[in-house]
DNA sequence: ACCAGCTCCTGCTTGC
DNA sequence: TGCAAGCAGGAGCTGG
């Protein structure tokens, strides 16, 4: 479900509720999500203080006592919520779906952190601190789009080597990490680039526009608390509202919102995923 | 090596 | 109303 802005919003919501606290008990109700949990996950969570929560692409990294890192991916439908402690006003946050509450952490101050994931495309692992960059899921990731490693020259270089459609390329986490279907569609619209354009046929000026579009759309979405489609919520239960800012995603048949464009948003299927774009202003 | 398509799982929406 | 098909925001794997 969630893309970079949603994961970042969840991270920001978890920090005040969880960081600095000790995991008193870890309740793990099934052996796996997408993959089996490490057999010692419970042991390596319990008794640990959460020193920091970082994000890499769509992964959350809970740093535990400088020893281990609890790696969590929300997949399509994964969701964190918490209640109790000093943040009792968010008592509605657990969502009332105990059937898919797969992992629950009881913190030493009474806060209950719950991980719910109906589709079970989520993932969890425990990594020894310092070994993150060698982890099989993290080592393949491209640059962080809002970090220093992402720049127009690198993007141009990566695109020049590819013959695939730009839409598919931007979904490839090796090229740039953290984009998903929604924000790729939105970024391409902002950059006036059609999703079926071949990467190596995109001109330098367009690559620059795309670079800025990616950064802008992600920053705006984070500022809006992510996009709430279906059941996505922030960790404290609030809804994000960037979905109201979509220019193309989910708008097939409707008018392009770009001033003086007059086009209609169309939906095509690329690599089995929906792409939304305006064939009038995106070329 | 690259790339499009398939796949995992469940729940919600759509159409007959 | 009931039921089946279709669809979903991720991403590793397979086979062309």
The pLDDT of residue A186? 95
Nucleotides of C under 7 A from a protein CB: 7-12
Burial A33-51 (b: 16+ CB within 10 A, else e): beeebeeebbebbeebbbe
Element (H, E) at A70: strand A68-73
pLDDT beyond 50 at A87: no
pLDDT higher than 90, residue A244: no
Instruction: Say yes or no to pLDDT of A232 above 60.
Output: yes
Question: What DSSP line would sit under A258-278, residue for residue?
Answer: STTT--BEEEEEETTEEEEEE
- Per-residue pLDDT tens digits for A40-83: 999 999 999 999 999 999 999 999 999 999 999 999 999 999 88
- Catalytic residue list of A: 2-3, 58, 273
Strand B close residues, chain A 74-93, CB < 7 angstroms: 76
In this prediction, residue A38 has a pLDDT band, given cuts at 50, 70 and 90, of very high
Phi first, then psi: what are they for A85, rounded to 5°? 60, -145
CA→C1' distance for A40 and B14 (Å)? 44
Q: Å between A229 CA and C15 C1'?
A: 34
A15 CA – B6 C1', rounded, Å: 37
Quick one: pLDDT at residue A157? 95
Query: For residue A231, what pLDDT band results from cuts at 50, 70 and 90?
Result: low
Handedness of CA A175, A181, A182, A184 (dihedral sign): positive
Q: Flag whether pLDDT at A211 surpasses 90.
A: yes
Give the other-Cβ count within 10 Å of A149's Cβ: 11
Encoding tokens for residue A216? Answer: 């802008």
Percent above pLDDT 90 for chain A: 82
Query: Tell me: the pLDDT tens digits for A110-160?
Result: 999 999 999 999 999 999 999 998 999 999 999 999 999 999 999 999 999
| Tokens, residue A9 | 């919003």
Mean pLDDT of chain A: 91
CA of A23 to C1' of C16 (A): 49
Query: pLDDT tens for residues A182-200?
Result: 999 999 999 999 999 999 9
pLDDT of residue A92: 38
pLDDT value at residue A85:
55
Chain A residues 123 to 142 whose Cβ lies within 7 Å of strand B are none
B4 C1': nearest CA residue: A271
pLDDT confidence of residue A88: 35
Nucleic strand B within 7 A of Cβ A165: yes
Strand B bases within 7 angstroms of protein beta carbons: 2-12
C-alpha closest to that of A35 among A69, A72, A80: A72
CA distance A233 to A226: 8
**CA–CA dist A124, A63 (Å, integer):** 13
């Amino acid at each position: 479900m969630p893309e970079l802005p949603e994961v970042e919003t969840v991270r920001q919501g978890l920090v005040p509720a969880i960081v600095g606290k000790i995991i008193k008990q870890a309740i793990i109700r099934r052996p796996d999500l997408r993959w089996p949990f490490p057999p010692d996950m419970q042991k390596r969570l319990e008794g640990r203080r959460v020193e920091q929560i970082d994000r890499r692409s769509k992964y959350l990294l809970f740093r535990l006592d400088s020893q281990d890192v609890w790696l969590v991916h929300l997949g399509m439908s994964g969701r964190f919520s918490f209640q109790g402690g000093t943040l009792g006003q968010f008592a509605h946050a657990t969502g009332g779906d105990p059937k898919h509450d797969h992992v629950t952490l009881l913190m030493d101050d009474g806060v209950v952190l719950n991980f719910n994931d109906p589709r079970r495309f989520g993932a969890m692992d425990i990594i020894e601190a310092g070994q993150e960059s060698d982890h099989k899921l993290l080592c393949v990731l491209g640059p962080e789009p809002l970090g220093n490693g992402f720049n127009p020259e690198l993007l141009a270089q990566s695109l020049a080597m590819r013959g695939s459609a730009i839409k598919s390329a931007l979904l490839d986490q090796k090229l740039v990490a953290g984009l998903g279907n929604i924000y790729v569609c939105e970024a391409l619209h902002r950059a006036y680039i059609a999703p079926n354009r071949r990467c190596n046929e995109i001109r330098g000026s367009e690559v620059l526009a795309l670079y800025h579009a990616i950064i802008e759309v992600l920053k705006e979405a984070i500022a809006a608390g992510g996009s709430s489609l279906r059941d996505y919520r922030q960790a404290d239960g609030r809804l994000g509202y960037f979905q109201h800012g979509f220019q193309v995603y989910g708008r097939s048949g409707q008018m392009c919102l770009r001033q003086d464009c007059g086009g209609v948003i169309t939906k095509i299927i690329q690599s089995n995923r929906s792409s939304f774009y305006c064939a009038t202003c995106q070329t």
